[in-house]
Structure 1
Amino acid sequence: MLSLLALYLYYIAPSLPVAKRIAAPHWSVSLWLIAMLAMLVILVAGHLNFSLGTGAIIKSTIGWAKGWLLIALFIFAGAVLPIRAEIIYRAICRTGKYTIILLPLFLVAPFVGLPEILWVSPLKIFGGSGPEYFATILYTLEPGSGTPRWQFFAPWSPAAGMIGLIYLVCAFQEKDRGWRYWGIAAALVMIILSQSRLALVGLVMIAPIPLLFGQITRPLMWFAILPVVLLAGWFAVDIIEALNLAKSEFSGARADSTRVRETLGRIAVERWQGEAFWFGHGVVERGPHLVEYMPIGSHHSWYGLLFVKGILGLFALAIPMIVSLGLLLRSALTSDIGRIGLAMTMLLLMYSFGENLESLAYLYWPALLLIGMALQYRGPAKSI
């Protein structure tokens, strides 16, 4: 709907005063649109190579529209529509307030015998990747240990951690102190209770990006970093050993999950190389019992792209993402929206190694709008 509104504003532009006409999308935004449209062409080619039939093409096209196309459309809408980033920040903080209000219900649910799934929306009849996308889930129990994990309004816990990171970055930009506290509290709760390892890494690596880039042009920042770099050089061996130990503990925290993810990746790469190098297999396939029948290439956008859309599909995501990172690294030095856009793009890059980005676009769409705003921003004369 946002993209249709943008197209409508382009249509009526000749009748509007010049000052009220929306600008053409930046070439990097157009690159996202072209790349995601290329995904569809590659997808159809993969179906034709394996003679999957017209019905499978139609079904996969709908899946593409709900995922990859959605990513490009939100970036496009954020770039060309006169949306203020402050509205997104406030909306996220409001959502955070309601999350905190409902938190006691989520926390007590596994201990008082409430069901894990409250209900499943009848909209599931329209299809999708699984019923979890349409379910209202209070909590889940970790296989083996039986400890509860929470996913709030996400389909699974790691996705809730991802949304928590997005909300945290945005909540820090809220100017009203009261709403900012609501947003920060809710974001931290989502990150911690999701028990997502990737979310904890992002909390350290991604969340501080807007603050760091806001100070990076100041000489005092470099003087503060200098002793850290010097000490890191002296204790490099100890630091490397500590990092290796942390990596082992990180992987061992959920050894079964790590094993399944790695095995799914190996299967995806081997079958991509041997069966469908250029255009992929066209459709997702269930893995063997060894990987608990998880879809091949799931839990990893790049493996998933290689298996389903081949090397060309991987390039279709890698090229616009790398270009966006390069542009936003420069923009982050001079503008607030550039720093937010960079943080969101780096967050998507990080989660591309742990999630299938296209399946969660309907959740992290505020990040996509902010990326579009950042790519389009060209100076203080343009109101964001």
Structure 2
Amino acid sequence: MEDYIVALALAGTWPIYFLGGLYVLGPVLGVMLTAIVLVRKYVRAPTTARPEPPAIPIGVWFWIAGMGVMQIALLGGHWSYELSTGQTLKSTIGWAKGWALFAMFTLAGACLDIRFETIIRATGLTALISLLLTPLLYLAPMVGLPEVLFVSPLRVVGGPGPEFFAVQLYSMDPADGLPRWRYFTPWSPAAALIGNLYLILAIEDRRMPWRVIGIISALAIIILSKSRLGLVTAVLVWPAAFGVSQLRRSILWLAAAVPVFLAGLFSPILLAQLGAAYEGFRGMRANSTRVREALGRIAIDRWWNEAPIWGHGVVERGPHYVEYMPIGSHHTWFGLLFVKGVVGVGALVIPLMWSLLEFALLALSSPIGRAAFAITILLVLFTVGENLEILTYLFWPGLLIMGIAMREAAEKRSAILAEARAS
């Protein structure tokens, strides 16, 4: 049943988006799948034929504990600043629709019968629809179609802003006056994040025609988003994951010897070129870079001087200098420090580091481990350009795959221990 639910939700991405319902779908699906896990595990009739869900893997417990600590940090910040009960309730609902979904979806992936292949095939269908819509979206600003078609009435359920419920064809970049495309996400860098996720899944698709369609569609989303981080991530993530998955092969070490030697020999030139490339990268969107850096400086300064342990508890609007954007936005770590302090940062660092290590080891022997490792790298890289919490409602397929990989890693550990005891 859960496999069908996930497939239906993923395949219906575009229809649900046109209803303005994606922001609602993510949390509802997370709660539904978590409820299925809990009911099957703890509310079982004696005549139930379905087998009990597997034990919760240690990797999932890291995420459950970490996201629980996130809520504790939130309450600590609200208590420190004596915020009202209404504000605390609103922030708790925000936590349930954001950080809590990391724990919910990894739990569902690990404990429910959701197949890796189902997620790949369903995202392949969404990638095909995205590719077919790309010409229309690309031509929309040229023929004078409006940026936003409408804002869904579902906005009444509450959310960070109207863009999460808006059906939009494109957006105009205030820096250069040129269009950028968002597809079914609230802003262009978010589209780059989802495009990179779809690229990872498309590469793992065993069906060649669908693999080609998925890769072309994902690259179109990344390129048209015009996100610098998205472009860099597309180049780095999959090669890194593939390289880690091949570390057992001695030929890889031999093949890497010559490039490593040459890199050491010409390191001064390479470092100079990298420095020039970095400055050019920053200069591509100079105003955006200025605002992001200023938001980061404000967040760090106020975190350190005002609320180093628990943070401020709530997001605050920045000054005119940063175009009134929320302090700590556009950066997961700065946002966590400002809102939830060092406790909140630790609550994310520990499960992320565990997942990276666990998936790197699993990638040596499993395609699921390789995909999960690539997805975790993607999350780590986008922490410096996005607030992950607010985009969990879109990124949930990646979290399901991480949960599936955690289950497989736990099974492999159990098999190794059983073999060791037998011998």
1:33 aligns with 2:64: yes
8 Å contact 2:175–2:285 — kept in the other structure? no
Alignment pair present for 1:188 and 2:225: no
**Match of residue 348 from structure 1:** 379
Which residue does 2:143 correspond to in 1?
A: 112
Matched, 1:93 2:124: yes
In 2, the alpha carbon distance for the partners of 1:20 and 1:106 equals 47
Name which of structure 1's ranges 299-308 and 219-228 shifts more when overlaid on structure 2. 219-228
Match of 2:364 among 319, 324, 333: 333
Aligned residue for 2:308?
Answer: 277
Residue 69 (str. 1) matches residue 69 (str. 2):
no
Find the aligned partners of 2:360 and 2:44 in 1 and give their Cα distance: 32
148, 151, 155: which one pairs with 2:182?
151
From 98, 109, 123, give the equivalent of 1:78. Answer: 109
TM-score, length basis structure 1: 0.96
CA drift at 1:99: 0.7
1:142 aligned to 167, 173, 176, which one?
A: 173
- 8 Å Cα contact 1:210-1:336 kept in structure 2: no
CA deviation after TM superposition for structure 1 residue 381, in Å:
11
Task: Measure, in 2, the Cα distance between the counterparts of 1:40 and 1:215.
Answer: 39
Q: Are the equivalent residues in 2 in contact too, given 1:279–1:309 (CA < 8 A)?
A: yes
CA–CA distance in structure 2, aligned partners of residues 299 and 261 of structure 1: 7
User: How far 1:214 sits from its partner (Å)?
Assistant: 3.4
Matches within 5 A, 1:149-298: 149-298=180-329
CA distance in 2, matches of 1:254, 1:24: 48
Match of 1:363 among 391, 394, 398: 394
Q: Per-residue displacement from partner, 1:86-111 (whole Å, max 9, x unpaired)?
A: 00000111001111111111011000
- Aligned AA (1:343): A
Question: For each residue in 1:315-372, what CA deviation from the matched residue of structure 2 results, as whole angstroms up to 9, or x when unmatched?
Answer: 1111111111122221111211111111111110110111000000011111111111
Q: CA deviation at 1:207?
A: 2.1
* Change in 2 beyond 3 A, CA 1:59/1:246: same
Shift of residue 144, structure 1, vs aligned partner: 3.2
Q: 1:381 to 1:305 in 2, by over 3 A?
A: closer
State whether residues 344 and 367 of structure 1, in contact with CA within 8 Å, keep that contact through their aligned partners in structure 2.
Answer: yes
1-structure distance, mates of 2:44, 2:273: 59
Task: Choose 4-13 or 278-287, whichever is displaced more.
Answer: 4-13
Q: Secondary structure at the match of 2:281?
A: helix
Distance 1:5 1:179 in 2: 31
Amino acid at match of 1:96: A
- Structure-2 separation of matches of 1:380 and 1:277: 40
Are the counterparts in 1 of residues 331 and 384 from structure 2 also a CA contact under 8 Å?
yes
In structure 1, list runs of 5 or more residues that go unmatched.
Answer: none
Match in the other structure for 2:160 = 129
User: How many pairs were matched up?
Assistant: 382
Q: Structure 1 residue 147: deviation in Å? A: 1.0
SS at match of 1:136: strand
User: Equivalent residue of 1:364, what SS?
Assistant: helix
Partner in structure 1 of residue 405 of structure 2: 374
| C-alpha distance 115-38 of structure 1, shift in aligned 2 (>3 A) | same
Aligned-residue Cα RMSD (Å) equals: 1.7
Other structure's SS at 2:184 match? coil
> Contact 2:204–2:367 at 8 Å: present in 1 too?
no
* Matched residue type, 2:97: K
Alpha-carbon distance between aligned partners in 2 of 1:157 and 1:87, rounded to the nearest angstrom: 27
- Residue 167 of structure 2 aligns to a residue whose secondary structure is strand
Q: For 1:61-115, what per-residue CA distance to the aligned partner results, in whole angstroms no more than 9, with x for missing partners?
A: 1100000001111111111112110000001110011111111110110000000
Which residue does the alignment assign to 1:324?
355
Query: How far did residue 13 of structure 1 move?
Result: 5.3
* Local SS of the residue matching 1:237: helix
Residues 4-25 of structure 1, C-alpha deviations (whole Å, 9 max, x = no match): 1111221355747899322111
CA distance in structure 2 between the aligned counterparts of 1:34 and 1:214, rounded to whole angstroms: 28
Kept in 2: contact 1:2–1:77 (CA 8 A) = yes
| Match of residue 6 from structure 2 | none
CA distance in 2, matches of 1:92, 1:28: 25
Residue 74 of structure 2 aligns with an amino acid whose one-letter code is: L
Corresponding residue SS for 1:248: helix
| Cα distance, 1:27 vs structure 2 | 1.5
TM-score when scaled to structure 2? 0.87
